[in-house]
Amino acid sequence: MAIDILCVGKLKEKYLKDGIAEYAKRLSRFCSLSLTEVEEEPLASSSAADVEKVRQREGKRLLARADGFVVALCIEGKQLSSPQFSELVADLPNRGVSRITFVIGGSYGLSDEVVGRADLRLSFGKFTYPHQLMRLILCEQIYRAFMIAGGGVYHK
């Protein structure tokens, strides 16, 4: 199984890089994990029209790289428990899926085109998370999913 986390912008904080590296190391026995970053679009002004332009431009960059079973992380997505997420990840290979691409938008979210392209829209609740922190949270949940599926003691 190959898993790609497709996101907007460069990861800046060392603690986030270190956390993601730790989960990537743990996940290496279950899957091939990669993190693909696309360029963040500068915002000309805070007008709704300019925000939408940013979403559209970033969305085109994301769609050019979205491959396999695409999961868009968005607030309007489906909420799953960790065991439900584990069941999903464990079942996808049985359905012929060999690559999962999780898509995390930038500061202004995902374009409608990216959300529409997704095979699954997934929400981590009604909270708003910084998009860079979401990378680490997602890595932890992917690791937890594999541990649950394998009967590991990580999930309590």
Q: Which residues carry a binding-site annotation for S-adenosyl-L-methionine? A: 73, 105
Could you list the residues known to form a binding site, using ranges: 73, 105
Which tokens in the block code for residue 120? 């699954």
* Residues 119 and 71: beta-carbon distance below 8 Å: yes
Angle of helix 14-27 relative to helix 131-149, nearest 10 degrees?
Answer: 20
Using a 10 angstrom Cβ sphere, with 0-12 exposed, 13-18 middle and 19 or more buried, the burial of residue 91 is exposed
C-alpha distances out from residue 75 to 90, 95, 143, Å: 23, 26, 22
Cβ–Cβ < 8 Å for 4, 67: yes
- What φ, ψ does residue 116 adopt, rounded to 5°? -70, -30
- Phi/psi of residue 121, nearest 5 degrees: -105, 125
